[in-house]
Amino acid sequence: MTALLRRVDPYLKIEAYDPEAELMLLHFGPQHPSTHGVFRMDLYLDGELIVKAVPHCGYLHRAVEKLCEKLAYVQLTPIVDKNDYVAPMTNELALVMAFEALLKQDVPRRARWLRSLFAELQRVASHLLAIGTLAIDLGGALGGGTTVFMHCFRERELILDLFEAVTGSRFHYNTHTIGGNRHDLPEGWAKQAKDAIRVIRERLPEYGALTIENRIFQQRMQKVGVLDGELALELGVTGPNLRASGVDHDLRRDAPYAAYDEVKVNVVTAQTGDCFARAIVRVKEIEESLRLAECFLDGLPEGPINGGKPTKMAVQTKVPVGQTYVGIETPRGELGTWLVADGTHTPYRLKIRPASLHSLSALPYVLPGHTVSDAIAILGSLDPIMGEVDR
Amino acid sequence: MNELIHGGLYGGMIVGVLMTTTAMALWFERKFAARMQSRLGPTMVGPSGLLQPFADVVKLLQKEDIVPFQADRVLFNLAPPLGAIAAISVAAVIPFSADIIAADLDVGVLYLLAIGALGVLPVFIAGWGSNNKFALLGGMRALAQSVSYEVPLVLAALVPVILTGSMKLSAIVEFQATHHWLVVWPFFLGVPAFIIFMLAMLAEANRIPFDIPEAESELVAGITTEYTGIKFALFYMAEYVHTLVASAVGAALFLGGWDGPFAPGLGWMVAKTLALFGFVYWLRWTLLRFRSDQLMALCWRYLVPAGVVLVAASAVWVVWVG
Amino acid sequence: MTHEPAAPAPAAPRPRTVDDGSNFRHPLYQVLLDTPGLTVGTAAVDDLLTWGLTNAMWIFPMATSCCGIEFMATMASRVDIDRMGSFVRPTPRQADVMVVAGTITTKMAPRVLKLWEQMPEPKWCVAMGSCAISGDFYRNLYSVVPGIDTFLPVDVYIPGCPPNPEALMHGMLRLQEKIRGQRHGKDFAPKPDAALLKITQPSIPRLVEANRPADLSAAQERASDQPTVDEATPALVVAPEDAPEVAPLVANDFEGLLKEVGVTELPKDGPPLVPAAHHLELARRLKALGYRQLVTIAATHWLAGRGRKGAVADEVEHFEIAFVVRTVGAGSRTAAWAVRVLPGQPLLTLSGVYAGADWQEREQFDLVGVKFAGHPDLRRIMQAESATSFPLRRDHPADAPCAPWR
């Protein structure tokens, strides 16, 4: 059925469509309250209807890949932390897993469980932020949206506190190293984590009532920004955005890494592919991640947390010649690392495959035919993080 | 001559009280919103942040006044005062108590509807005069919205006029004081009309969930995008005054105005107004925003037909029962 | 005693100072000064004005990256900057303080400046986080502005990466103090700490500093050249219009397909190298076989003599473009292959097969400088349109000058 949907032409020639030049060109961004950072869309408007959308990114292009060619392997974890700054834990994980793949380095079981635990908690924090900012987009900075946002942030702080207790930093943790983790859990952390999980689980219905059960929210989101599953796959859209389009694909289950092969991961999907489906998948994933986090917390094995060889200097860690691709499931989708090593202490080429860039590449297909208000909802529901898009 | 002095005196008093109330309403709103969001709200300026609105005004007075290079200077400068005047003028006919009325016009309801409708003009002027695309979109939306919601507003306001047989606001309140409040009896006419009236008033005052003309998350700041300093303050104030006055009118038309036991009339009127006002802010900080086409659908599909039916039913009620 | 009129003293040479207005004495001003009670009054009014300015600082968030998230956390319940009367205005016209939270790139900097100029006076600027202060570790890279004070007047610096919400709150309180002080005529220029000045070296020494070319701009220019194709070198790929008709591939798995295009054994040091002529057909067949998801496209610039072992062209400079695709659902499999092209030679685009290849190829074109023939919209994506170089080429210096901010 989906194949019957007519695909929007993203390369529409605007002169041919509108020879009298009566369309209004609205530069949406790069500084705009709803672009989630610095992102620009050139919207050609017919009244309030979008005829064509031309996204422009790169306003936060920080040349991370060039920096990675310059620094030693062990110095890179804090650098990639800043890419997807809402989920730094998974950033580090994708990076060190690529190094470990070429080094053929084994990771102790406890470290793998810790990594999965952190990743799940990070997913909760990230989705909370996504829902909060989506609500702000829909409800305005001086309105009901802010209330949802504040509540989401209140819960997000609980998780940041947990991470701060482990690593000493609210984000940019630098806790994953080649062969394991750098920080073990402090005394009493498990109880604190349990409490946080319980509190968040208790409060989840609150967000539900304010967002996905809210009539206005439903009206704004349903049947808006429908992304066809086949197109999403072609574009490389991953994560909750892909699962909302009815594609049952989650790397945690389909290509397990860390400790995900030892637990059962329930993949949340929705069929409609609209903004509402994307929102609902995120809310449901919070519940699932809380369950998984509890599971990892309960079954956390004892043992060493680092199997790597200790080195005195950064330059001593040398990765053998080879090329590899490692992808993991972050809160935003598949975050991958394409690593080209030439046997020295720095990568020859390191490409980070961002999930958000691929999500944004759906915009020219999805936006036409919607209004400016819908554009906000669509952009918010895709949950892009510009640090990851532009790197 | 006497009437002139009376009008001037009460007018001045009402404007003064309205301004102070608006400032307090701003403070109240910020604290209220903060409580809803498990925050504290302003605490540092004055006791419990009570002086916060005044600090805002003092600051806004000092800001540079910028007129964008290619804006229409005349229209750009005309819009803010016009908006403030339109919002405040409505207060002239509101009966705060049996004898505190600046101008007890015979056609009070007509006057307040007419002046209320004027409120959209400065909004559109601002949207056009700013020469800013976001402002233009905001003005466009505001115009469509206000013109649409004018219809259910008038229809809903007709219900008390028909039921009480007068367009004089004091007479309407007097009628309710001697008979029943309109939301009490006949409640099947009064309550729906009251709801339609408040919804339409919210839309006229551009409050959430109807605040699409200035939707910050979509249109940056909508019509006020290019306004600085005191001009912005006028717009901001006009919005609050509009809401406040709308609450007062709603209280007078449907909730029996100054009527109530034990307390003096003024107290009852103020209490009812503030209760409605608080309700508006409760909505504001809970609900999300409609899209403009949904807003239009709500108006034309539900509110207008309901209004027409209500007016007809009121006429039938008055002729056959009342 | 008579007064001898004093001999006129020799006229003192006029001090050659610039009149800064501090010695201004207008007669009217004197009258105002002498009026009793007036100074007290004006001082009171001034205090009132200052009170208003400091207690209603509306913030324009120039939140670009990580610090923006901490900025949002400052708005949120735990710290709640609304306590001091500050909240966010989305338009610069109504804001008093611009909080630059995050890295500012050369592409963004002109916009930041424009937004700053749109703010009405009096206005202040807060640099939040080390990226805004100095560019942090992105400082020397080609696309990052090394600190916003290269083009904006900064009032308060808040260090941290990112600063805690409490730190931002502290910074705002310090800004209040600064405004009050300035209104009272106090100088708030920072007094440098002698101990801090000694720290000039970064704590982690740069590892490849020795490779830094002396003349940076020349090196950057060199990297931007499109080397012409040497006639003598065997062409690795042909222009799309000359592309020979390749027979459609029929194998049913990735290994079989590789055999069909002539790759007999899988190389140890990377993905299999596929002849460019078969590249498009391979992708088409893989998509039909269920590899429906495009994962990534990554181009590597191999300098002469640095390429992978045992290949035809490892002595000459060339690009190796890797493609990764994936099947979806349980038991997901990936397939990766690579194609080589010489500098200046285009590769047929994949965007007709996978729509997502559009942006991926644009990125590789922008950063590495690989051309894709038949691409519908081959523009730069990360760098500004005016950029000239391809920074991810290996001969592009990591420490690049980026005019006009350094």
- B215 close to A (CB below 8 A): yes
Residues in chain B: 322
Cross-chain Cβ contact B292/A143 below 8 Å: no
ipTM over 0.85: yes
> Least CA distance to C117: which residue of chain B?
B66
- B35 close to C (CB below 8 A): no
Evaluate if residue C200 carries a pLDDT over 70: no
Share of chain C above pLDDT 70, in %: 75
Confidence (pLDDT) at C246? 66
Burial of residue A202 (CB within 10 Å: 0-12, 13-18, 19+) is exposed
Evaluate if residue A283 carries a pLDDT over 50: yes
Confidence (pLDDT) at C126? 92
Can you list the domains of chain C with their CATH numbers?
Answer: 56-189 (3.40.50.12280), 240-373 (3.30.460.80)
Interface residues on C facing B, Cβ-Cβ cutoff 8 A: 48-49, 51-53, 55-57, 76-77, 80, 82-85, 89-91, 93-94, 96, 118, 120-122
Considering the domain architecture, whether residues A39 and A119 belong to the same structural domain is answered as no
Q: What is the mean pLDDT of residues A22-50?
A: 83
Q: Which comes out higher in pLDDT, residue A29 or C367?
A: C367
- B121 close to C (CB below 8 A): no
Dump pLDDT digits (tens) for A74-124: 888 888 888 888 889 999 999 999 999 888 888 898 999 999 999 999 999
Lowest-pLDDT choice from B57-66, C10-19, C246-255, C280-289? C10-19
Q: A233: distance to nearest CA of chain C, Å?
A: 5
Q: Which comes out higher in pLDDT, residue C311 or C389?
A: C389
Please check whether residue C125 is in contact with residue C98, taking contact to mean a CB–CB distance below 8 angstroms. Answer: yes
* List of residues 6+ apart from C261 with CB closer than 8 A: C249, C274, C275, C278, C282
Q: In what order do the strands lie in the sheet with A322-330?
A: A322-330, A333-341, A347-353
Evaluate if residue C222 carries a pLDDT over 70: no
Selecting from B140, B219, B288 the residue whose C-beta is nearest the C-beta of A220 gives B288
Considering the domain architecture, whether residues A246 and A379 belong to the same structural domain is answered as yes
Confidence (pLDDT) at C107? 85
Evaluate if residue C9 carries a pLDDT over 70: no
Confidence (pLDDT) at A197? 92
Instruction: Return d(Cα B96, Cα B75) in angstroms, integer.
Output: 35
Angle of CA points A282, A288, A290, to nearest 5°? 105
Evaluate if residue B35 carries a pLDDT over 60: yes
Evaluate if residue C4 carries a pLDDT over 60: no
Chain C positions in Cβ-Cβ contact with residue A265 (cut-off 8 Å)? none
Chain C positions in Cβ-Cβ contact with residue B63 (cut-off 8 Å)? 96, 120-122
Q: What is the mean pLDDT of residues A135-163?
A: 84
Confidence of residue C339 (pLDDT cuts 50, 70, 90): confident
Selecting from C77, C295, C332 the residue whose C-beta is nearest the C-beta of A353 gives C295
Confidence (pLDDT) at C236? 45
Dump pLDDT digits (tens) for C62-104: 888 888 888 988 888 888 888 888 888 888 888 889 999 888 8
Chain A positions in Cβ-Cβ contact with residue C329 (cut-off 8 Å)? 247-249, 254
Confidence (pLDDT) at B1? 65
Q: What is the mean pLDDT of residues B157-180?
A: 83
Evaluate if residue C192 carries a pLDDT over 70: no
Confidence (pLDDT) at C242? 52
Residues 193-232 of C with CB under 8 A from A: 204, 207-208
- Mutation for testing the C interface, residue in A35, A40, A62, A315 having most C CBs under 10 Å: A62
- C162 close to A (CB below 8 A): yes
Cross-chain Cβ contact B287/A139 below 8 Å: yes
Dump pLDDT digits (tens) for C290-311: 888 888 999 988 887 777 765 5
Average model confidence (pLDDT) across chain C: 76
Evaluate if residue C214 carries a pLDDT over 50: no
Q: Quick one: which of B38, B77, B98 has its CA closest to B227?
A: B77
- Mutation for testing the C interface, residue in A28, A38, A137 having most C CBs under 10 Å: A38
Query: What's the domain count of chain A?
Result: 2
Evaluate if residue B230 carries a pLDDT over 70: yes
* List of residues 6+ apart from B253 with CB closer than 8 A: B109, B157, B160, B169, B172, B182, B194, B197
Q: How many Cβ atoms from other residues are within 10 Å of residue C305's Cβ?
A: 9
Which range has the top average pLDDT, A273-287, C22-36, C224-238? A273-287
Evaluate if residue B205 carries a pLDDT over 60: yes
Average model confidence (pLDDT) across chain B: 83
Lowest-pLDDT choice from A102-106, C152-156, C260-264? C260-264
Dump pLDDT digits (tens) for A236-278: 899 899 999 888 888 888 888 888 888 888 888 888 888 899 9
Confidence (pLDDT) at C213? 47
Lowest-pLDDT choice from A164-173, C265-274, C397-406? C397-406
Place of tokens 């500050």: C86
Lowest-pLDDT choice from A92-106, A351-365, C11-25, C30-44? C11-25
Dump pLDDT digits (tens) for B303-312: 899 999 988 8
Considering the domain architecture, whether residues A115 and A202 belong to the same structural domain is answered as yes
Confidence (pLDDT) at C270? 81
Chain B positions in Cβ-Cβ contact with residue A220 (cut-off 8 Å)? 288-291, 294
Cross-chain Cβ contact A147/B219 below 8 Å: no
Evaluate if residue C37 carries a pLDDT over 70: yes
Confidence (pLDDT) at C32? 75
Q: How many Cβ atoms from other residues are within 10 Å of residue C46's Cβ?
A: 12
Instruction: Return d(Cα A165, Cα A192) in angstroms, integer.
Output: 10
Amino acid letter, C52: G
Q: Which comes out higher in pLDDT, residue C247 or A38?
A: A38
List, as one string, the DSSP characters of C116-152.
Answer: HHHSPSS-EEEEESHHHHH-GGGTTSTTB-S-GGGTS
Instruction: Return d(Cα A71, Cα A90) in angstroms, integer.
Output: 20
Backbone angles phi, psi at A52, to 5 degrees: -150, 145
> Least CA distance to A25: which residue of chain B?
B133
Q: What is the mean pLDDT of residues C249-271?
A: 78
Evaluate if residue C14 carries a pLDDT over 60: no
Q: C348: distance to nearest CA of chain A, Å?
A: 17
- C296 close to A (CB below 8 A): yes
Cross-chain Cβ contact A214/B287 below 8 Å: yes
Q: B290: distance to nearest CA of chain C, Å?
A: 20
List, as one string, the DSSP characters of C299-349.
Answer: EEEEPTT-S-TT-TTTTS-EEEEEEEEE--STT--EEEEEEEE-TT-EEE-
Confidence (pLDDT) at C97? 92
List, as one string, the DSSP characters of A322-362.
Answer: EEEEEEEEETTEEEEEEEEE-SSSSEEEEEEE-HHHHHHTT
Q: B28: distance to nearest CA of chain C, Å?
A: 13
Q: B226: distance to nearest CA of chain A, Å?
A: 14
Q: What is the mean pLDDT of residues B220-230?
A: 83
Confidence (pLDDT) at C390? 83
Considering the domain architecture, whether residues A174 and A313 belong to the same structural domain is answered as yes
Both tokens of B67, joined, read 């007129």
Confidence (pLDDT) at C90? 85
Chain B positions in Cβ-Cβ contact with residue A33 (cut-off 8 Å)? 216-217, 220
Q: Which comes out higher in pLDDT, residue C374 or A99?
A: A99
Q: What is the mean pLDDT of residues A309-325?
A: 83
- B212 close to A (CB below 8 A): yes
Q: B51: distance to nearest CA of chain A, Å?
A: 20
Q: What is the mean pLDDT of residues C297-326?
A: 78
- A150 close to B (CB below 8 A): yes
Confidence of residue A6 (pLDDT cuts 50, 70, 90): low
> Least CA distance to B212: which residue of chain A?
A373
Range of the domain at A22: 2-56
- A373 close to B (CB below 8 A): yes
* List of residues 6+ apart from A29 with CB closer than 8 A: A35, A38, A39, A40, A41, A56, A59
> Least CA distance to C62: which residue of chain A?
A31
Q: What is the mean pLDDT of residues C380-393?
A: 82
Q: C77: distance to nearest CA of chain B, Å?
A: 5
List, as one string, the DSSP characters of A243-268.
Answer: HTTT----HHHHS--TTGGGSPPPPP
* List of residues 6+ apart from A379 with CB closer than 8 A: A34, A35, A36, A39, A41, A137, A363
Lowest-pLDDT choice from A282-286, A330-334, B57-61, C239-243? C239-243
Q: Quick one: which of A157, A167, A164 has its CA closest to A200?
A: A157
